[in-house]
Amino acid sequence: MKKKPPTSNPQHPTSNVSRPTLVSGIQPSGRLHLGNYLGALKNFVDLQNSDKYDCYFFIADLHSLTESASGRINPKEKSKQILGLTADFIAAGLDPLASALAIAERGRVWGSLGLIVAAHTSLGCGPLHLAGTPEQQQRYLVPMASGRVIGGYGLTESGAGSDAGGTRTTARHEDGPDGGTWVIDGSKRFITNAGQAGTYIVTARTGDKDDGSAEISAFILPADTPGFSVGRLEDKLGLHASATGELLLDGCRVPAANLLGAKGEGFRTFLKVLDGGRISIGALAVGLAQAALDAAVPYAQTREQFGRPIGSFQGVAFMIADMATEIEAARSLVWKAAWLKDKGRDFGLAAAEAKLFASEVSSRATNAAIQVHGGYGYVTDYPVERYFRDAKLTEIGEGTSQIQRLVIARRILGLRIV
């Protein structure tokens, strides 16, 4: 008698098949052993046998199926639970690798949650950590790092995507007490955590350079700033529980003290921020790819056709082999980039390579997982179709795959490639 396909998510802890660990025994930091990283992660989601793991799969499936705004996570209501691990990491003195591990493990269960945390830590907290004054960090970064406030980063515009230097949002300075104020006008598009963040970092043109190019500066923008509002919230292919939307800035006045870094240094700052963000997106891609493999392996072992498990056919077995090999390689690249960042070494090239490879591996792995599942992979009874939809974002966010190739080629060749 032929076995029926599994009716529950095969990557749940209830499966008899052991799930491969996301970590491969690397110990890159002298501060804490890798086991301590995973110990912290297990406080959020027990990866071995907790009902909480099943619970997050269930919640993720519900949010994935909900197309309306009511289906999005509200981090302002659940910020402690969602972002509390960020505070744990900072308090424990952990490093970029620990952050990447946290994002990957979240992404392995729920891509939307992984993206919320990635945007909050890398894009929200990152600029303040990189360029903020002690006063700015105390006022804005501390609440964000503790999980009390969500962060967002307003860089992309309708006409300034890959060409981030084409920013049209403007900021003009007006004299007054305490250094005067900056008045910001414009809009931002495709902003993660839009409408949920309490603090945004936004970029704006503050003048022109001698060569005629735009002078871009960065500003700290609290969500309650008069003139600030959230416009359209996007209906996306995947990552439905993560809010992505438009920021509208109509005469937003912020004090001079909210200029982040020196005037005109915003472009340089966001390039550094994007380098770190690429590690986060690479980690999210690794998590999604691992989730796809976790689902495909037990399915291939238990689903029978022609009187034998489909995993015993080379056509399926070799897909599994390719998935496992590419995921391990992607994981190593991402971990290496995080390690270089932790050591204070130049990690820009490694981050671009890791993000490029991991994101494309994630798309291939999630597509292969659907193929292993056959017709069952195409329906929402199984999670692999969600992994596939979620993974596509990793080839776009923090710079498309084409932009990553430009970055890599320019660094290696030393030529201006267009």
Mean pLDDT of 376-392: 96
Rounded CA-CA distance 96/86 in Å is 11
In this model, does residue 352 exceed pLDDT 70?
yes
Higher pLDDT, 106 or 371: 371
Q: What is the pLDDT of residue 146?
A: 84
Q: What is the pLDDT of residue 60?
A: 54
Higher pLDDT, 142 or 13: 142
Q: According to the per-residue pLDDT averaged within each range, which of 27-31, 74-78, 296-300 is highest?
A: 296-300
pTM of the model: 0.84
Query: Which of 169-173, 255-259, 270-274, 329-333 is the least confident region?
Result: 270-274
In this model, does residue 376 exceed pLDDT 80?
yes
Q: What is the pLDDT of residue 73?
A: 57
Residue by residue, what is the 3-state secondary structure of the chain?
CCCCCCCCCCCCCCCCCCCCCCCCCCCCCCCCCHHHHHHHHHHHCCCCCCHHHHHHHHHHHHHHHCCCHHHCCCHHHHHHHHHHHHHHHHHCCCCHHHHHHHHHHHHHHCHHHHHHHHHHHHHHHHHHHHHCCHHHHHHHHHHHHCCCCCEEEECCECCECCCHHHCCCEEEEECCHHHCEEEEEEEEEEEECCCCCCEEEEEEEEEECCCCCEEEEEEEEECCCCCEEEEEECCCCCCCCCCEEEEEEEEEEEEHHHEECCCCCHHHHHHHHHHHHHHHHHHHHHHHHHHHHHHHHHHHHHCEECCEEHHHCHHHHHHHHHHHHHHHHHHHHHHHHHHHHHCCCCCHHHHHHHHHHHHHHHHHHHHHHHHHHHHHHHCCCCCHHHHHHHHHHHHCCCCCHHHHHHHHHHHHHCCCCC
Q: What is the pLDDT of residue 61?
A: 55
Rounded CA-CA distance 192/105 in Å is 19
In this model, does residue 295 exceed pLDDT 80?
yes
With beta carbons less than 8 A apart as the criterion, state whether 101 and 114 touch.
no
Across the chain, what does the average pLDDT equal?
Answer: 83
Mean pLDDT of 171-185: 96
Report the percent of the chain where pLDDT is more than 70: 78
Mean pLDDT of 327-343: 96
Q: What is the pLDDT of residue 59?
A: 52
Mean pLDDT of 183-190: 97
In this model, does residue 42 exceed pLDDT 90?
no
> Active-site residue 398, yes or no?
yes
C-alpha Rg value of the chain to the nearest Å: 22
Contacts of 371 (CB under 8 A, 6+ apart): 319, 377
Query: Which of 12-16, 78-82, 344-348, 375-379 is the least confident region?
Result: 12-16
**In degrees to the nearest 10, what's the CA dihedral of 245, 348, 214, 261?**
80
Contacts of 130 (CB under 8 A, 6+ apart): 269, 272, 273
pLDDT band at 94 (very low <50, low <70, confident <90, very high): low
Query: 157, 246, 395, 398: which one is catalytic?
Result: 398
The per-residue pLDDT for range 208-222, each reduced to its tens digit, is 988 888 999 999 999
In this model, does residue 67 exceed pLDDT 80?
no
Contacts of 384 (CB under 8 A, 6+ apart): 292, 295, 296, 366, 369, 370, 373, 377
Q: What is the pLDDT of residue 403?
A: 96
In this model, does residue 19 exceed pLDDT 60?
no
Give the number of other CB atoms < 10 A from CB of residue 168.
Answer: 14
Give the number of other CB atoms < 10 A from CB of residue 394.
Answer: 31
In this model, does residue 406 exceed pLDDT 90?
yes
